[in-house]
Amino acid sequence: MLNSVKIGICGLGTVGSGAVNVLNRNADEINARAGCQIVITQVGARRDNPACELGDISVSRDIFEVADNPDIDILVELIGGTTVAKDLVFRAIENGKHVVTANKALIAEFGNEIFEAAKEKGVTVAFEAAVAGGIPIIKAIREGLSANRIEWLAGIINGTGNFILTQMRDKGRDFADVLKEAQALGYAEADPTFDVEGIDAAHKLVILASLAFGIPLQFEKVFTEGISKVDPQDVTYAQQLGYRIKHLGIARRSTYSDNGGIELRVHPTLIPAKQLIANVDGVMNAVLVKGDAVGPTLYYGAGAGAEPTASSVIADIVDLARTLTADPEHRVPHLGFQPGQLNHIEILPIDEVETAYYLRITALDVPGVLAKITQILSDADISVEAVIQKEPEADSDHVPLILITDRAIEKHLDEAVEKIQALDATAGDVVRIRVESLS
């Protein structure tokens, strides 16, 4: 075992400053677990951060100096993005350094080539903090559940979207109103697209799916739908039916397709209100994983923030410190499966996915309309599990019809919805939200 492991931290923002603070505050416990002294030798940052005290640690305004420093054993990449960060990580790997990163976009989009480069140089790239902040979900799937054939996983893996949907449900507010508050509180960026349109969650989902199913990272194949079109009335109707709307990332082995396949999808989802994951509110994250041996397991905690994310960053540093002297061939593989053992299972397009649906249809308040709609669904082999027919609003001859369907393949529902929208007795587009029982 080494006497000390020297690390270089690149990026001194929220997570970088959190990592410095936790390493300093908990040094005795961390070093005892690692079996050696973990020493911050150099920091690369464009500017200092008053949120942390660097003392006599060497600081460089050029982050690539950290990657080139021969004294550094582990480079910690916390600058974000996929341009400079990518070059930095490849430079560190080329120089024979291990890497710890919290960068989900970098791993999701370039992880395959990063891991291949790391394998060739005999180093490890650790990324626990890239998904769900302080929740140790990477280790749980890759190591804790290694005896299992993972059947599916579903996660609330973006705190901003979860905060918005929670406020819409509890306060009856609309999306735009809550988004402004989320931005004022610092939960959402000035440009919130990555969070509210599901891109951030898609980055995380593709990482979880690769770990769960032993498949290459394939970000471009994730179906992604955001929450910006979720209407408060649908949140209310969902509650009346015993459901809550959550923005989920779902990865599932297909159980109906003859050729198998993997579903990768991020979208608003109705979940039965009695389920634990339906009660994960505010900015908290949770991931539900179903293994064939263990059954469903739920992982809950803070999905972002300085110290929760730093917790995962430092856990990776400790793991690497423990294995620095180990033969590279005997370290835990990046995606949990040994090199050359990844599965090349088809990622299903969204129109081949099977799920249940919530439908809201605006229809004339006349006899026979519901019968026509249910007949169209029946002709498509789609059964209806529940119906709510609301009273017409004042000065309106239309009423909202709310239906919950049984499970159906999406392309069949598409065809049925097109016919429903063509009826003279319906108006506007049919609103639909996918429904999952997660059992």
Catalytic residues: 204
Both tokens of residue 219? Answer: 């970000």
The CB density around residue 326, as the number of other CB atoms within 10 Å, is 11
The CB density around residue 260, as the number of other CB atoms within 10 Å, is 13
In whole angstroms, give the CA distance from residue 417 to residue 107: 38
Q: How many CA atoms lie within 13 A of 154 on its CB side?
A: 21
Give alpha helix (H) positions in 214-350: 232-240, 306-323
In whole angstroms, give the CA distance from residue 209 to residue 206: 5
Cβ atoms 124, 331 nearer than 8 A: yes
In whole angstroms, give the CA distance from residue 248 to residue 152: 13
Sheet strand arrangement including 98-101: 58-60, 37-44, 4-10, 74-77, 98-101, 125-126
Cβ atoms 146, 336 nearer than 8 A: yes
Q: Which is nearest to 106 in space by CA: 88, 124, 132?
A: 88
What DSSP line would sit under 260-284, residue for residue? --EEEEEEEEEEETTSGGGG--TTE
In angstroms, the Cα distances linking 101 to 8, 105, 184, 336 are 12, 11, 28, 17
Cβ atoms 200, 194 nearer than 8 A: yes
First-to-final CA distance of the chain: 45
DSSP 8-state secondary structure symbol assigned to residue 330: G
State residue 153 phi and psi, 5-degree precision: -145, 150
Both tokens of residue 222? Answer: 């994730």
The angle at the Cα of 243, spanning 242 to 245, to the nearest 5 degrees, equals 160
The single residue listed with the structure tokens 């099977």 is: 354
3-state secondary structure of 333: coil
The residue type found at 197 is E
CA dihedral 138, 36, 5, 133 (to 10 degrees): 30
